[in-house]
Chain A
Amino acid sequence: MNVPHVITALLVAATLMPLVSSLLIVFFGTRVMKAASGWFATGVMAGGFGCSVYALVLWLGHRPDTICNVLPWIPLPGNDPGWLYLGAMIDGLTVAMMVMVTGISTLVHLYSIGYMAGDKRFERFFAYLSLFTFSMLGIVISNSIMQLFVFWELVGLTSYLLIGFWFEKRGPQLACKKAFVMNRVGDMGFLIGFGILFYKLGGVVLLPAVEGGIFDSVRDLLAAEGYSITNPPMWLTAAGISLFFGAIGKSAQFPLHTWLPDAMEGPTPVSSIVHSATMVAAGVYLTGRIYPILTPGAHLFIATIGLVTLVLAACMALVMTDIKKVLAYSTLSQLGYMILGLGTGSYVFALYHLITHAFFKCCLFQCAGSVIHSAHHQQDMRYYGGLKSKMPITALCYFVCTLAISGASIPYTATGISGFYSKDGIIAGAANYSVAMSAGGWLGGLFMWGPLLVAYLTVFYMARSFALTFLGQPRDKHLHDHAHEVPWTMWLPQVCLAAMAVLTAPMIMGFWQGLIVETNETMIARGVYWVQSVADIHHGEHMIHGPLLHGFGWIVALSAGLLMYRGGMGISSKVVAIPGVNLLYTWAHNKFYFDALYDVFTVGLGKTVAYIVSAIDRYLVDGAVNLAGWVAKLCAALIGVIDSRVVDGAVNGAASAAASGGRLLSTTQAGRVRLYVLMLLTSATVVTLIVVTVTLVSAG
């Protein structure tokens, strides 16, 4: 038995199974399967998870990096003789991602059975959800940039369908369109980068750093042209940044991040999968896959984008009162960490954070969904409060995941919850990078202090959302009376995910990490530029030991958040009074303007920043997008007018000129026979005279 072949077969099967179930539901769901569709899709997904896990077990025994070509697809030079093959590429990262995506998707399917019960398009939801998972698995298993792009776009399509699932309403209509179009803006960059690589390398490129992959091709080419990856030609940096633009769109990084909060218009299970295992993860995964060809310039660009995103998003998360919006902005911020991690070279921890984040963020969204589900679809946290007693399981899961995203640890030991391991590594790696960048002065320092401070901000806003939702007294009696614990199909996935998030034993966490380390070590061994090994990063941790999450800092921030908000907005309004801004204090009495007050004060030091950032986001960044859309429409209208008046006008003009000429001549056709004869005679005479004259003149 050829183990790599079996692994490949298992993973390809796991990829295709959701596609099959999706198609079956599309064609037979409403007529044959009906309500059983949900269970069917969940079962198939669980089967895919089983395949992935079995593949993982096999993989651990041999650790074979495999590339295989399955189906000839497009005749493009470079990959095999003249044909681009659809196929699979399997290494540690692939296997880890496969298990994570199928696992989370199974749980989301299960959750959706409860959440979507009674929806009139129940079956179709599962068809979309399975298709969505299939697309993401396709990205993970792709062996070439081209194939990756195919599934990349399919993810775009299915997210369009899912976000716009309740398309009767205006909000989802606009949100799904916005998501797709903004993703396409990123894709444009992706295509350009792909085009440059295609032209330079003379063909389609395989993805990984293994023998014959993208890294080898680029390195050989650079050597031939007299360059190296640290002294790169401009096109390589441009190609890297262009490809990364795809990731900016998909992973909702600054400046293309505004679609993600809007995407909250979709059903909550969609948010839980979009924000964890699929879609936004795709961008990070892509960056991880093209990592070997990134140049120092591209690294700097990526790190900067990550830094800006994580800071902006955390500030915005502080000011939201809609529970899903808080989580959405927190996703943005965590994605910023991952991108920053990739940009600063802590490859292992960035992708590791992708996996840990997937579990706890999926759980957080499911908890939020459960709360919304049992609270008359009220999403505003100001109407919650005291739900802990009504929904104990959900509250516990939410709290555990709050700790996980905060990176909670036992102070001054190296033991903590999942988020601690990954985020700490990213910050330490960023610190290393910032030392390496110290030539840039204090700007280099931003790469260290930015993520560090935002880490505390994260703790604070997550504590805030927990406290507002579950602690204190009910602020809406009716809502609280109605609230109830959700059925088992909904709380079971939450518990599973929370358990995954809390499993701190280094064995389990180290296992995930180990899979990625495998890929990381391959890259280091092959000489990829600026990959920090795990040892490097531990060195970085020692360097900035004190301020890191190791300490009591997270406990302070968590307590501050919990204490401040456990009584709802009361304390925060008192806090508001202390600085003595009377105008804002007056607003505190007006519930409608509470948001504005809240925005300014809870952010503390970053109050002005948050305000400006919100404004920038809303008016400048989003405004720029709207303006671009408006300008495009204007141009289109203008060109439409030019087209019909000028371009088409020329055509019509020629026709009417011919017609009026004809009309002019037709006036001589008066129908008088004698007149015709006279004209005939006259013309004949004139012609004769001319002929005679010419003859005579030329003769003499």
Chain B
Amino acid sequence: MDAQLLNWMIFAPTIGAALCLLPGVSDQASKKIALLASLVTLGLSVWIAWDYYGGGLEGVQFETACEWIGAINAYYRVGIDGLSLPLVLLTTSLSVLVVLASWNIDKATKAFMALYLFLYTGMLGVFLSLDMFLFYVFFEISLLPMYFLIGVWGGPRKEYAAIKFFLYTLAGSICLLVVMLGLYFLTPFASPDNTTNTWIMATSDPGAVTLQSQTLRSLFSEGGVYWWFAKTAFWLTFIAFAIKLPLAPLHTWLPDAHVEAPTPISMILAGVLLKMGGYALMRITYPFFPDAAKYYWAAVGVIAVFGIIYGALCAMAQTDWKKLVAYSSVSHMGYVALGLAVMTRTAFDGAYYQMIAHGISSAMMFFLVGVVYERAHHRDLSRFGGMWLKWPGYGGWSLVGFFAGMGLPGLCGFIGEIMVLLGTFQAASPGAVGENNVAMVYTLGILSASAVVLTAGYILWMFQRVYLGLERPEYKEYAPVTGREYFVMATLGVAAVVFGLAPVLVFTLTDKTFTSIMASLGVS
């Protein structure tokens, strides 16, 4: 087991970015470099996953720690565990497809590829940092390339969308920063000598003081000295990550960003960047402040269910195809929040799986939209129809993609939703958060179940307007779907089926880590 493997993986894309920017590298070559860098990173991630599997699937592995800013005790500390590994694999595999999807970018290709690879390092860094300061840095780093990718290569209102995306997310980061400072000044309580500050979120070192130590937990527990801080910090971090997730009503950056972003960027935005929010909720908000989470579970649950239904209704009202898909993301990410809110193992598992599944299905949906948009140059749902007759193969894969998004059993979207739903009902069991508020549990469960009707409504209505019916005359001028495009569709489509049938692939990796997280949350 090579300890440096992880570092190579994080910075392989950066090396690729640097190569892309070398003078003399042509546009074509930069695409190939990007593809190669993605493949190398994918290979490394698979190698790491294999080693992690061989290493007993337990705890944090591949940990590297070296001092970075001594004055504030900040370390460069990275490592991988069951919470991050599946998301890392999602990122690395999706990235290859994203590079393939951006093959047609002809405006400043070198810069595009370099920025994309830089973003790639940022995403991996977020998932792999174990030091909160480092996490924050990567969290911010991932914003900047995205800003340019939307702002330069985007659609007509790209500047507006890019600025909105940047500022909105930055506002969330400020909330996170406040909590970080607070934690930083409270951590000495947890250290043996009462003076050392720490940023460690998780580590394989059993002697190390982390932000999840028992001492801190008791300070933050109900009745503890810093209970007030825990309550505030819970909401601040929740808001920070709910913006990223995004959870209605903090979602309005998302439709604009998606509508303006070029197709590959939409794919990575929906597929990976949104997952940072959910991941951070699981890594920071809930494990750090479990008592506050239990205290506010009902409020979080209500917001989550509101988001689910709200997103679905908004999606139904859209006439812009890409916006419809964007709003479906808002609705789907509501399940992640709901799964966390009710704090049962089933729901937690479901919330995590929902992120993986949504990474596949939303990336696929955006790609499917992109294939048509590249030829039609508009996304007005009322001006389509008969697409299935035009391209039967494309229509077939679309069926898989959109029905995966709808949560059809046998496809990936189903597992997360059903587990969250069942886990929600479970929250009324003795010892769970909703024990004394069964009416609330039932309300949340019933409302989230009702969303299946709305989801079916907007997906099917969209499907009818785009795919069914007769071909339109202007389709004759459309170029045929290329083999490269079919490859991307088929890969995502097969993944949607595989992850619908074999969630064991993910849960094997996460099981032990989740067991310890649930134990530390103090719920069954």
Contacts and interface: CB of A to CB of B under 8 A. Distances in A.
In-complex A–B contact (CB below 8 Å) = yes
Contacts of A83: 504
A637 B442 CA distance: 28
B445 A181 contact: no
Interface string A618-644: 000000000001001101110110010
Contact of A180 (B425, B460, B467): B460
Nearest to A149: B409
Contacts of B388: 167
Contacts of B164: 651
B317 A75 contact: no
Given A181-B456, A647-B252, A655 B449 contact: no
Given A195-B445, A198-B426, A75 B403 contact: no
A173 interface: yes
Interface string B335-378: 00000000001100100000000000000000000000000000
Given A149-B409, A167-B468, A639-B317, A191 B452 contact: yes
Interface stretch (B54-62, B294-302, B416-424): B416-424
* Interface bin, chain B: 35 or more
B212 interface: no
A632 B252 CA distance: 21
Contacts of B414: 150, 153
B403 A195 contact: no
A647 B392 CA distance: 40
A192 B446 contact: yes
A651 B252 contact: yes
Nearest to A195: B425
Contacts of B461: 177
Interface stretch (A182-190, A291-299, A373-381, A560-568): A182-190
Interface in B398-453: 399, 403, 408-410, 414-415, 418-419, 421-422, 424-429, 441-442, 445-446, 449-450, 452-453
A157 interface: yes
Contact of A639 (B310, B389, B392, B399): B310
Most buried by A among B316, B409, B501: B409
Given A153-B408, A191-B452, A636-B313, A168 B419 contact: no
A651 B169 CA distance: 12
Given A168-B386, A168-B469, A184 B421 contact: no
Most buried by A among B345, B349, B425, B429: B425
B396 A26 contact: yes
A187 B425 contact: no
Interface in B110-129: none
A194 interface: yes
A481 interface: no
B493 to A, nearest CB: 12
Contact of A73 (B452, B504, B511): B504
A454 to B, nearest CB: 31
Interface in A153-187: 153-154, 157, 160-161, 164, 167-168, 170, 173-174, 177, 180-181, 184-185, 187
B76 interface: no
B519 to A, nearest CB: 15
Q: Is the interface of B mostly helix, strand, loop or mixed?
A: helix
A152 B253 CA distance: 37
A72 interface: yes
A74 interface: yes
A472 interface: no
Contacts of B504: 72-73, 83
B314 interface: yes
Contacts of A174: 464
B276 to A, nearest CB: 21
Given A75-B511, A157-B403, A632 B410 contact: no
A157 B426 contact: no
B313 A77 contact: no
B156 interface: no
A20 interface: no
A152 B446 CA distance: 20
B452 A188 contact: yes
Nearest to A199: B425
B503 interface: yes
A80 interface: no
A344 B320 CA distance: 51
Given A154-B408, A168-B389, A647 B249 contact: yes
Contact of B313 (A161, A168, A632): A632
A7 to B, nearest CB: 24
6 contacts: A72-B504, A77-B346, A170-B469, A188-B452, A188-B453, A637-B317
Given A77-B345, A181-B456, 9 more contacts: A30-B392, A74-B419, A149-B409, A153-B409, A168-B468, A185-B453, A194-B422, A202-B426, A632-B316
Kindly list the 9 A-B residue pairs having the minimum CB-CB distance in the complex, ordered from nearest.
A195-B425, A150-B409, A640-B317, A636-B317, A199-B425, A167-B468, A636-B316, A636-B313, A184-B456
Interface of A: 26, 30, 72-77, 83, 146, 149-154, 157, 160-161, 164, 167-168, 170, 173-174, 177, 180-181, 184-185, 187-188, 191-192, 194-196, 198-199, 202, 629, 632-633, 635-637, 639-640, 643, 647-648, 651, 655
